[in-house]
Amino acid sequence: MKKRKLGIYIHIPFCVRKCLYCDFPSAPADRQEQGYYMRQLMKEIRSFEPLGNLYEIKSVFFGGGTPSILPPEQIRRVLGRLCNQFLFEDDAEITIECNPGTLTREKLAAYRECGINRLSIGLQSADNAMLKLLGRIHTWEDFLESWKLAREAGFTNINIDLMSGLPGQTFGGWSDTLEKVAALEPEHISAYSLIVEEGTPFYERYGTAEGQRLLPDEVADRDMYHHTGKFLAEQGYHRYEISNYAKDGYECEHNKIYWTCGDYLGFGLSAASYVDGRRFQNPVDPKEYYAHIGEGYRMFRQMPAQSEKDAIEEYMFLGLRMMRGVSVAEFEARFGRDYRSLYGKQTDELIRRKLLQVQDGRICLTERGIDISNTVLANFIFD
Amino acid sequence: MADFDRSRIRNFCIIAHIDHGKSTLADRIIEMTGLLTEREMQDQVLDNMDLERERGITIKSQCVRTIYKADDGKEYMFNLIDTPGHVDFNYEVSRSLAACDGAVLVVDATQGVEAQTLANVYLALDHDLEVVPVINKIDLPSADPERVKKEIEDVIGLDAENAPLISAKNGTNVRSVLEAVVRDIPAPGGDPDAPLQALIFDSVYDSYRGVIIFCRLKQGRVHKGMKIHMMATGADFETVEVGYFGAGQFIPCEELSAGMVGYITASIKNVQETRVGDTVTETERPCSAPLPGYKKAQPMVYCGMYPADSARYPDLRDALEKLQLNDAALQFEPETSAALGFGFRCGFLGLLHLDVIQERIDREYDIDVITTAPSVVYKVHLTDGSVIELTNPSNMPDPSTIEFMEEPVVNAEIMVTTEFIGAIMDLCQDRRGVYQGMEYLEDTRALLRYQLPLNEIIYDFFDALKSRSRGYASFDYELAGYQRSSLVKLDILVNKEPVDALSFIVFEETAYDRGRKMCEKLKEEIPRQLFDIPIQAAIGGRVIARETVKALRKDVLAKCYGGDITRKKKLLEKQKEGKKRMRQVGNVEIPQKAFMNVLKLDTE
């Protein structure tokens, strides 16, 4: 029997120090706490053993937090556990997020050894003043050092995370960061507009009406965004999702699973899963998470599958985040429904307003459509 | 029951300023006369609309009949008719009063005489009712019954020396009220053997029995199977049932006779065929003349009402028809708006009346309605000598054809504690008020008299009054005719298109200010869209104020990974929900609530 593809997300909720804009469940922790968490995580993975008969792994993503804070041995054990339970595709993509300042030659070698073939490095900015403002633990120079080590260790698929729309950031400052980073020729760049999330120190400072004036305004933010796409295209990167750019052949397979409504399993604190038409998420509160370790699979089995309506809506608003958009033929094959009878009216109207376009049987956002994509995507929510 | 000795019938109502305890006293009377046991008693039996209970106000008149065994050992039949207290509902009071021979006046022992106390007493005296004062809330620590007695004597001119001092809440001394009713309120007159002559003072619609007529028999008798004739509408029916009012229920009986209050059903399906104020007589043996009708309720405020969901237009019509049945003051006729589609132009007695109708439509009929700016009735004198009555700003004739315009003015009485006199006078000046005088009722309270244009008080005057007096001012008004005034029609243009539902008529000198505020407010209310939206206020073709709703440049979520999907979806659902509550005007989406919110302009 042909096995279905599965992505695995492993959440590592530890970091050296929490960044001021970060709203992920993550905090500094001592070795003992880290060890306890990882043991529980292994139990959780084990409880999903039955899925090994149905699925093979297409990608693994260690996210956080700062997964590279852990001794590489811990990462190796997790991958070992997954290997025992699942078949891996030959060219499975295995990514770990890391921060400059936490990488060493030894660590990188150990990653290579246990099968990790992709790094995602959180740089955010090439401007040390910006890095300080964000509460990052590293400088641009620290990053360059990590970058050199990573290439020397043999990593040929590296992503660099960047942030635009930062407080006080100018167009010039942003394009400077872009230029410096592109000069290193990473295979992949994620460039996000800052989101000021509730519950973060940034929210206290920039969430108020007054605070918002310290951020680049909408026009400046969009100028930066448009420049990003144009500049990176010149450098050989294509935008394949609203905030993601890659050289040919280096799109992130793992993240594409999310946007194409593929199956994925999330392990660890707050991790989300979508398997067999069921969406579920681990508790965000560690106590609650620990209390239910080992029950994940049973709970997943008891959960009803999502409605067709939910599945269709998600397929559309996630699919349209990708520049290639949604194929009408694939849509109809997947749901056994006529696209036009469900969405014909909205689609025509959005095309008329130049927010959507059709290319080779695929429906996708226009440049303008990207800028106000929430407004566009809301049209795909049913009444 | 038909032979009940008429000398032992008492038809009376209770009148009071809002919140002085009228409904609570009614409850106690019903309880004490044994109609309901305490256990069966739901607080405020007579306020049987949910809305009335929640707001603690009486909107519709209600009736109940009870038997009271008095100190003289005899049984008396009490027909108690509850009346609304708010100034907007004076017409309801007027209808109820016509069915009564006396009124119990409830005055709060802590607040004393208020503006509506006066208004209601004058109405009662107009109807030749005997007024029996009662001082309520004597259980409150701040009660000062002696002061209030004096006030009743000085301000109203009623003898209050022996007024019962009661606490309706605790039941203290309520019996003395009942004795005062027996002693002071006259028994009804009328000849039971004369031809039937009964006044319709209210009616309700029941889906099984049709229209239920509430009436007071002035002469004659009515019984089941009798052929009856409506003198004003000319309709004839055969009575199916006659009866009287229990607490919240109808109790059939053999016959009603002169002096009694009760109801008649006659399979009346068409609500148009019975009119409140009409006289019912016997077809075979009609009375010589109809009873004088009530003081007819004249709508003072008009606005458009549109179903938020245009498919519910017929439902809205149905709801308005049903409401009108026992709310003679509500008027409506179909109109269309370019912005809002099909709806009705409705006439109301005041803003509270409008508010109450809107809420009843929402609750009792589950229809979401959008209301447009309230307007008063303007008299437009045209150059050709004709005069039109304008209730909808959209119908304003071309200014070149207008000779002059008149607007309604009211005489307002504002009762206020002395510390707020300055603030209230400022407010009245702002609203083009003409000072008419002031009387000190006592050291700390005064009655201010102003003549005010009605269009200055229909939007938010009451709220402004309350906020500037920390809730202490009370207010009453009556129409005082029309005055010539320089008025202009202010149009609001959204994206260069005039939005008819937002047009209104305004005093020329305040037009600029008003237009500017409207534009500012609309700018807050209209969400940013794909393009810049100019919002303009204009008189004729001349733009006097402008704001711009800047185009939406950015509405994008930078990140959406596995864990963000559920949250992201909620966000999109919310966005979609918001869109549903929008009205498309040209290319622009305007939130439904904006049409009402733009009217709330008072800034202190």
DSSP letter string, B511-540: HHHHHHHHHHHHHHHSPP-SS-EEEEEEET
Q: By three-state DSSP, how is residue A379 classified? A: helix
| Interval A226-277: pLDDT, tens | 999 999 999 999 999 999 999 999 999 999 999 999 999 999 999 999 999 9
- Give the per-residue pLDDT at B459: 73
Nearest to B579 among A242, A273, A378 (CB): A378
Q: The tokens 């050289």 sit on which residue?
A: A247
**Three-state DSSP string of A171-233:** HHHHHHHHHHHHHCCCCEEEEEECCCCCCCHHHHHHCCHHHHCCCCCHHHHHHHHHHHHHHHH
Whichever domain contains A160, its CATH number is: 3.20.20.70
In a domain, A335, yes or no: yes
The arithmetic mean of pLDDT across residues B585-594, rounded, is 86
In a domain, A201, yes or no: yes
Residues A99 and A223 in one domain: yes
Backbone angles phi, psi at A269, to 5 degrees: -50, 130
Strands A55-64 and A4-12, bridge-based pairing: parallel
| Residue B554 C-alpha, separation from nearest chain A C-alpha, in angstroms | 5
Which candidate, A351, A277, A262, A355, places its Cα nearest to that of A309?
Answer: A277
Token pair belonging to B254? 């053999």
CA-to-CA distance for B510 and B431, rounded, in angstroms? 10
For B574, name the nearest residue in chain A, comparing CA atoms only: A378
CA-to-CA distance for B218 and B291, rounded, in angstroms? 9
**Contact criterion met (CB < 8 Å) for A258 and B557:** no
Q: The tokens 């000319």 sit on which residue?
A: B234
| Residue B579 C-alpha, separation from nearest chain A C-alpha, in angstroms | 9
Q: Angle at Cα B580 formed by Cα B578 and Cα B586, nearest 5°?
A: 105
Looking at the complex, does the CB of residue A279 fall below 8 Å from at least one CB of chain B? yes
In a domain, A143, yes or no: yes
Residues A228 and A100 in one domain: yes
User: DSSP secondary structure string, B91-109?
Assistant: HHHHHHHTT-SEEEEEEET
Tell me the C-alpha to C-alpha distance, in Å, between residue B409 and each of B4, B354, B460, B485.
49, 19, 16, 10
| Residue A24 C-alpha, separation from nearest chain B C-alpha, in angstroms | 10
Residues A22 and A154 in one domain: yes
| Residue A152 C-alpha, separation from nearest chain B C-alpha, in angstroms | 30
For helices A218-234 and A171-183, give the axis angle rounded to 10 degrees.
20
Amino acid at B153: E
For helices B115-126 and B90-97, give the axis angle rounded to 10 degrees.
30
Of B413 and A337, which is predicted with more confidence?
A337
Which long-range CB contacts under 8 A does B566-575 form with residues at least 24 apart? B566/A272, B566/A279, B566/A281, B568/A317, B569/A310, B569/A313, B569/A314, B569/A317, B569/A381, B571/A374, B572/A313, B572/A317, B572/A374, B572/A377, B572/A378, B572/A380, B572/A381, B573/A378, B573/A381, B575/A374, B575/A375, B575/A378, B575/A381
The beta strands (E) that lie in B57-192 are given as: 62-69, 75-82, 102-108, 130-136
Tell me the C-alpha to C-alpha distance, in Å, between residue A185 and each of A121, A141, A182, B280, B586.
13, 17, 5, 96, 50
CA-to-CA distance for A166 and A182, rounded, in angstroms? 19
- Give the per-residue pLDDT at A226: 96
pLDDT above 90 as % of chain A? 93
**Contact criterion met (CB < 8 Å) for B563 and A272:** yes
> Which residues in chain B are closer than 8 Å to A122, comparing Cβ atoms?
none
Backbone angles phi, psi at B196, to 5 degrees: -60, 135
> Which residues in chain B are closer than 8 Å to A259, comparing Cβ atoms?
560
For helices A308-319 and A328-335, give the axis angle rounded to 10 degrees.
160
**Contact criterion met (CB < 8 Å) for B566 and A370:** no
CA-to-CA distance for A27 and A13, rounded, in angstroms? 6
B347 DSSP β-pair partners? B302, B331
Lowest mean pLDDT among A71-85, B135-149, B290-304, B508-522: B290-304
- Give the per-residue pLDDT at B278: 84
| Residue B592 C-alpha, separation from nearest chain A C-alpha, in angstroms | 18
Interface probe, candidates A159, A258, A303, chain B, greatest B C-beta count within 10 A: A258
Looking at the complex, does the CB of residue A353 fall below 8 Å from at least one CB of chain B? yes
Nearest to B530 among A221, A353, A370 (CB): A353
Which candidate, B41, B46, B74, B76, places its Cα nearest to that of B62?
Answer: B46
Residues A240 and A353 in one domain: no
| Interval A286-343: pLDDT, tens | 999 999 998 888 888 888 999 999 999 999 999 999 999 999 999 999 999 999 999 9
| Residue B527 C-alpha, separation from nearest chain A C-alpha, in angstroms | 12
Mean per-residue pLDDT over chain B, rounded: 85
Strand order in the sheet with A362-365: A326-327, A362-365, A356-359
B414 DSSP β-pair partners? B448, B475
Residue B428: pLDDT above 90?
Answer: yes
Number of neighbours of residue B6 by Cβ within 10 angstroms? 17
- Burial A230-239, CB ≥16 within 10 A → b, else e: ebbeeeebeb
- Give the per-residue pLDDT at B534: 96
> Which residues in chain A are closer than 8 Å to B569, comparing Cβ atoms?
310, 313-314, 317, 381
Residues A317 and A213 in one domain: no
Residue A283: pLDDT above 60?
Answer: yes
Of A182 and B77, which is predicted with more confidence?
A182
Token pair belonging to B342? 């099909």
- Burial B15-29, CB ≥16 within 10 A → b, else e: bbbbbbbbbbbbbbb
The arithmetic mean of pLDDT across residues B218-239, rounded, is 92
Nearest to B569 among A270, A281, A314 (CB): A314
Tell me the C-alpha to C-alpha distance, in Å, between residue B446 and each of B106, B414, B439.
21, 8, 5
Where residue B433 falls (left for φ over 0; alpha for ψ -120 to 50; beta otherwise) is beta
Residues A314 and A246 in one domain: no
How far the first Cα of chain A sits from its last, in Å, is 39
CB A113 within 8 A of CB A105: no
**Contact criterion met (CB < 8 Å) for B565 and A272:** yes
CB B287 within 8 A of CB B196: yes
The arithmetic mean of pLDDT across residues A10-19, rounded, is 95
In a domain, A8, yes or no: yes
Residues A180 and A324 in one domain: no
CA-to-CA distance for A207 and A199, rounded, in angstroms? 10
CB B35 within 8 A of CB B77: no
Looking at the complex, does the CB of residue B551 fall below 8 Å from at least one CB of chain A? no
Q: How many helices (H) and strands (E) does chain A have?
A: 17, 14
**pLDDT tier, B47 (very low <50, low <70, confident <90, very high otherwise):** very low
Q: Which of A226, A259, A292 is the last residue in one of the domains?
A: A259
Q: The tokens 């504690």 sit on which residue?
A: B417
CA atoms within 13 A on the CB side of B356: 28
pLDDT above 70 as % of chain B? 90
CB A41 within 8 A of CB A67: no
- Give the per-residue pLDDT at B326: 67
Looking at the complex, does the CB of residue B311 fall below 8 Å from at least one CB of chain A? no
**Contact criterion met (CB < 8 Å) for B562 and A373:** no
Residues A176 and A241 in one domain: yes
> Which residues in chain B are closer than 8 Å to A279, comparing Cβ atoms?
565-566
Residue A281: pLDDT above 90?
Answer: yes
Longest dimension (CA), chain A: 60
Residues A323 and A242 in one domain: no
In a domain, A300, yes or no: no
Strands B487-494 and B434-440, bridge-based pairing: unpaired
- The parent domain of residue A59 ranges over 4-259
Residue B248: pLDDT above 90?
Answer: no
| Interval B283-303: pLDDT, tens | 999 998 888 765 566 788 899
Lowest mean pLDDT among A58-72, A118-132, B145-159, B349-363: B349-363
Q: By three-state DSSP, how is residue B143 classified? A: coil
Residues A244 and A372 in one domain: no
Domain count, chain A: 2
pLDDT above 70 as % of chain A? 100
CA-to-CA distance for A53 and A74, rounded, in angstroms? 25
Looking at the complex, does the CB of residue A198 fall below 8 Å from at least one CB of chain B? no
The arithmetic mean of pLDDT across residues A37-46, rounded, is 96
Q: Which of A230, A259, A288 is the last residue in one of the domains?
A: A259
| Residue B531 C-alpha, separation from nearest chain A C-alpha, in angstroms | 11
How far the first Cα of chain B sits from its last, in Å, is 60
Which candidate, A366, A345, A371, A343, places its Cα nearest to that of A355?
Answer: A366
CA-to-CA distance for A199 and B308, rounded, in angstroms? 37
Please give the model's pTM, rounded to 2 decimal places.
0.68
**Contact criterion met (CB < 8 Å) for A370 and B559:** no
Nearest to A318 among B530, B565, B571 (CB): B565
Burial class for A280, CB neighbours closer than 10 Å (0-12, 13-18, 19+): middle
User: DSSP secondary structure string, A284-318?
Assistant: SSHHHHHHTTT-HHHHHHHSPPPPHHHHHHHHHHH
Residues A323 and A233 in one domain: no
Residue A76: pLDDT above 90?
Answer: yes
Looking at the complex, does the CB of residue B562 fall below 8 Å from at least one CB of chain A? yes
The arithmetic mean of pLDDT across residues A34-57, rounded, is 95
Tell me the C-alpha to C-alpha distance, in Å, between residue B335 and each of A199, B260, B313, B391, B501.
51, 43, 11, 12, 11
CA atoms within 13 A on the CB side of B307: 17
User: DSSP secondary structure string, A334-371?
Assistant: HH-S-HHHHHHHHHHHHHHTTSEEEETTEEEE-HHHHH
Residues A235 and A355 in one domain: no
- Give the per-residue pLDDT at A168: 93
Looking at the complex, does the CB of residue B559 fall below 8 Å from at least one CB of chain A? yes
In a domain, A163, yes or no: yes
The arithmetic mean of pLDDT across residues A77-102, rounded, is 96
In a domain, A145, yes or no: yes
Token pair belonging to B16? 């009071």
Whichever domain contains A323, its CATH number is: 1.10.10.920
In a domain, A286, yes or no: no
> Which residues in chain B are closer than 8 Å to A272, comparing Cβ atoms?
562-563, 565-566
> Which residues in chain B are closer than 8 Å to A258, comparing Cβ atoms?
560-562, 565
Token pair belonging to A159? 């992503």
Amino acid at B548: T
| Residue A59 C-alpha, separation from nearest chain B C-alpha, in angstroms | 13
DSSP state for residue B486 in the 8-state scheme? -
Q: Angle at Cα B217 formed by Cα B213 and Cα B221, nearest 5°?
A: 100
The arithmetic mean of pLDDT across residues A73-94, rounded, is 96
**ipTM above threshold 0.90:** yes
Q: Which of A259, A291, A319 is the last residue in one of the domains?
A: A259
**Contact criterion met (CB < 8 Å) for B572 and A375:** no
**Contact criterion met (CB < 8 Å) for B562 and A270:** no
CA-to-CA distance for A325 and B358, rounded, in angstroms? 46
| Residue B494 C-alpha, separation from nearest chain A C-alpha, in angstroms | 20
**Contact criterion met (CB < 8 Å) for B558 and A274:** no
Of A353 and B30, which is predicted with more confidence?
A353
Q: Could you tell me which residues come within 8 angstroms of residue A71 by beta carbon, excluding any fewer than 6 positions away?
A: none
